Chains A and B, each alone.
Chain A
Amino acid sequence: GAGVSQSPRYKVAKRGQDVALRCDPISGHVSLFWYQQALGQGPEFLTYFQNEAQLDKSGLPSDRFFAERPEGSVSTLKIQRTQQEDSAVYLCASSQSGGGTDTQYFGPGTRLTVL
């Protein structure tokens, strides 16, 4: 596709439910990133893939958060037993190679609200 797409754009979950957020990166981009953006804050790094390999997951807040990218393209961020503090916008970004000077291209985000 022309850009990074994310679905759903909005998700409302009851506390304790599991959710799955999808990211379609730009075709051919090697690197994929997930960020969490709380209201009024900048994006915070969650995890990073190079192709299908998850090279860093140091930003995942707890073991309830899990991300995968099994075929090196589409990625899913799963949150189990959602809590109110999980409410945020989840951003996905992709880049050609993942180098430090690489431009990251961001999707529009998924706004998760946990009631």
Chain B
Amino acid sequence: DAGVIQSPRHEVTEMGQEVTLRCKPISGHDYLFWYRQTMMRGLELLIYFNNNVPIDDSGMPEDRFSAKMPNASFSTLKIQPSEPRDSAVYFCASSPLVLDSYLSKNGYTFGSGTRLTVV
């Protein structure tokens, strides 16, 4: 298995532009998570999906952020318009089950992340 695949690996954009980050979860994983990592705040959960349905988006910082999962093998995180404070590494992770018994034996699988720089 290729693992969780994210694209692009790096993105540099100007303030005000739209940015779209992409994620392909591991096949068969029912859960997909979007995280943001900064030096100041560490890893923060933005939103997660179960069977393509958004379950909890309370971590999404503001209306400029939106996420979709049109099918089981693809998700996007969009920022429009982007701002310099959005600069961070955005990780996607997937998991087949989110039950305590499963989590005790296995961990989430993270992608390699997208490093976003908004200038």
Do they bind each other? no
**A residues apposed to B, CB below 8 Å:** none
